[in-house]
Amino acid sequence: QLQSKTIFPVDTIEDLSPGSSYCFKVQANLPREAKQGMFSPTSCVTNTQKVEEPLCATSLRVLAVNMEFQLLWEKQEDQEVNYNVQYLFGFLKRLNEDYSDKWLSVPGCENISSTWCNFSSIISPQGVYYLRVQARGGLNRSCLSREVQVDALKTNGIGPPGVKLELSDTWLHILISPPGGAQDEVMRTYYDLSYRIVYWKNSSNKEEEVRQKEVKQTIATVPDVSPSSLYCVKVQALLELYNKSSAYSQQECIHTPAGTPLPLIIFGIFMGALLVVLLVATPLVLMLYQAYNKIKYAFFPSCQPPLNIEGFGAQLLSSPYLPAAEEPVENCCVIESMVTEEGKQIDFTDCKHCKHSSRDSGNYSNDDNTAGSKGSKETLEKENV
Amino acid sequence: MNAFGLIQIGLMLSSTTIISSLQCNHLPLQQRKVIENSLRLLDKMGKKFPQQCLREKMPFRFPTQVLQPRRKETVGVAIEEIFQHIFYIFSKNLTLAAWDGTALDQFQNGLYLQIEQLEACVNRKHTQHHQSKEVSRLKLKKYFQKLDSFLRDKQHDLCSWEISRAEMRRCLQLIDKVTSKL
């Protein structure tokens, strides 16, 4: 079956099955101009059975965090093997030249027996590198391992950020320190990081739902935190460009202080205000009342002056001691009975508007004459009734 | 697969990196950093411009119109072309220049990474050919060929390299100015 691969001018095809025949043909392209060349003539080769070389370093892998790069590999043989780690600048593969003599040794990993190498010293942030391990054993045996490609910014892993918590009023401030360590300036320059904050409340041994927040800045706030609670936070750095995320930071927790409940505060303020008002208003009201009384006493007295004080003030209509100009009148009749010579009693009814007269009605005088008329008057009154 | 099976493998000679579209969006930002680094490394690899080489200085007349930001796409393609040319000029016959090898290698490596990424992204967009793009490319080709001929005529001696280095610094500074406006 036909397989296709993009290669450099000088390249290696790996993982061919031993004992199989392979045929190759090459096509040159100009991708920017969307041009494809013609295929070269086919060339075939049979893959001979390879003797397993136990000397070679295997399972090469790169561990990189915060621009600190480590190459790790595995030893197959249990004998004395010396390793020499080599690197190649990526651009050399693009040139139409043989680069086999351009491999350089990583400083500090030239003649080692350990199976790891820190190669951060040769790495520049913007660059592609190839690494391989040359194993040397007894009897002048040597073997070159497979190559591993390292695109510095892409291969590098993001370390966890640092977290600090601060409280102010009902706000929880989360202060994030970006990952970096020794290479924090490089991390800051080349990576546009965002952060995922995971936080939850632990109140009275009951864990509430975990909440998340994604921010771009290194300061975030959680508003309206409840009092007397334990809040826990952990943060993770995210790199959208290469879809990378760091490990979570250490979990940081903080206790919110016991707060005074709001209704109590309001009540306290209200009572205080009431007290102030009372203390200030009461004497003021009393003073005003006093003033009012004095004015009323002076200008609008409630008791009347005696009658013999002339020209005293206003009309005294309600005084019972002075004669009124106009009196309410009643219709009343005076019945006078007269005994005529014939001995008949003649009643004279004289109805007129009555007036108070100073004439004695004669009822109570001590005149003998009138005693009789009194008696007759009484009779008349009885008859009238 | 049986032991004597024939397996045909077609090989294509071009870029080997696979880049997501998200990375293509981040290219301008990365490009600025590459230019910054490249300028720094250009300065680092050699010493101050030697006075004796001033006599041999020659006007190369870089075609600044290719970087006019009339169309963002055209400028992007022009920048990629320039990176390619610089990369190839600095890839051989450097012995007499006697520059710092590590700085030079890092300079080349940075350019190379950017070229790869630009190539993959341009590929993806399948940009059509425009007359203006062709004119741009030809103008740049003419400029760099002039530089190449100059180096060859002087047999890649120290002065010719120092003059070329100064010229490339000017070129990158121009690109930096253009990309900062984009």
DSSP B80-124: HHHHHHHHHHTTS--GGG---HHHHHHHHHHHHHHHHHHHHHHHH
Structure tokens at A280: 């200030």
From B75, B79, B62, B72, select the one nearest B139 (Cα to Cα): B62
The DSSP bridge partners found for residue A371 are: none
Q: Does A192 touch chain B (CB under 8 A)?
A: yes
User: What pLDDT score was predicted for residue A376?
Assistant: 47
Q: What is the pLDDT of residues B98-122, one digit of tens each?
A: 999 999 999 999 999 988 888 777 6
Could you tell me where the DSSP H helices lie in A158-261?
Answer: 184-190
> Which of A2, A8, A94 lies closest to B10 in CB terms?
A2
Angle, helix B158-181 to helix B131-153, in steps of 10 degrees: 160
Among A45-54, A331-340, B99-108, B110-119, the minimum mean pLDDT is found in A331-340
Q: Which residues of B touch A33 (CB under 8 A)?
A: 129
User: What pLDDT score was predicted for residue A210?
Assistant: 87
Q: Does A126 touch chain B (CB under 8 A)?
A: yes
User: What pLDDT score was predicted for residue A318?
Assistant: 55
Q: Which residues of B touch A20 (CB under 8 A)?
A: 1, 3-5, 7
Structure tokens at A143: 């073997």
From A73, A64, A191, A193, select the one nearest A123 (Cα to Cα): A64
For residue A148, the distance in angstroms to the closest alpha carbon of chain B comes to 14
User: What pLDDT score was predicted for residue A17?
Assistant: 82
Taking the C-alpha atoms of residue A174 and residue A231, their distance in angstroms, rounded to an integer, is 11
Taking the C-alpha atoms of residue A313 and residue A300, their distance in angstroms, rounded to an integer, is 11
Query: Across the interface, do B119 and A23 touch by the CB < 8 Å criterion?
Result: no
Q: Which residues of A touch B87 (CB under 8 A)?
A: 91
Taking the C-alpha atoms of residue A241 and residue A193, their distance in angstroms, rounded to an integer, is 9
Q: Which residues of B touch A127 (CB under 8 A)?
A: 106, 109-110, 112-113
Taking the C-alpha atoms of residue A60 and residue A146, their distance in angstroms, rounded to an integer, is 8
> Which of B8, B87, B129 lies closest to A23 in CB terms?
B8
Q: Does A272 touch chain B (CB under 8 A)?
A: no
Residue A373 has pLDDT above 50, yes or no: no
In what helix (H) or strand (E) does residue B44 lie, and over which residues does it extend? helix B27-45
Strand order through the sheet with A116-118: A58-65, A68-74, A116-118
Query: Across the interface, do A32 and B122 touch by the CB < 8 Å criterion?
Result: yes
Tell me which amino acid residue B33 is. K
Domains A58-155 and A162-256 equal at CATH topology level = yes
Residue with tokens 């119109």: B65
- How far is C-alpha B174 from the chain's CA centre? 13
Average model confidence (pLDDT) across chain B: 82
CB-CB neighbours of A364 under 10 Å: 8
Burial B145-166 (b: 16+ CB within 10 A, else e): eebeebbeebebebbbbbbbbe
User: What pLDDT score was predicted for residue A174?
Assistant: 94
Q: Which residue has the higher pLDDT, A145 or A205?
A: A145
The DSSP bridge partners found for residue A312 are: none
Largest CA distance in chain A: 194
Q: What are phi and psi of A307, to 5 degrees?
A: -65, -30
Question: Can you identify the CATH homologous superfamily of domain A58-155?
Answer: Immunoglobulins (2.60.40.10)
- CATH dotted code for A162-256: 2.60.40.10
Q: Which residue has the higher pLDDT, B167 or A349?
A: B167
Strands (E), A216-360: 219-222, 230-239, 244-245, 252-255, 331-339, 345-353
Please report, for chain A, the start and end positions of each structural domain, with discontinuous segments joined by +.
Answer: 58-155, 162-256
pTM higher than 0.90: no
Q: What is the pLDDT of residues A277-327, one digit of tens each?
A: 999 999 999 999 999 999 988 888 777 667 676 555 555 555 556 555 666
> Which of A6, A20, A33 lies closest to B1 in CB terms?
A20
Taking the C-alpha atoms of residue A281 and residue A39, their distance in angstroms, rounded to an integer, is 106
Residue A372 has pLDDT above 50, yes or no: no
Report the residue of chain B nearest A242, measured CA to CA.
Answer: B23
Top CATH class of B27-180 equals: mainly alpha
> Between chain A and chain B, how many beta carbons pairs sit less than 8 Å apart?
136
Q: For residue B125, what are the contacts with CB-CB under 8 A and spacing of at least 6?
A: B24
Taking the C-alpha atoms of residue B123 and residue B21, their distance in angstroms, rounded to an integer, is 11
Q: Which residues of B touch A3 (CB under 8 A)?
A: 7-10
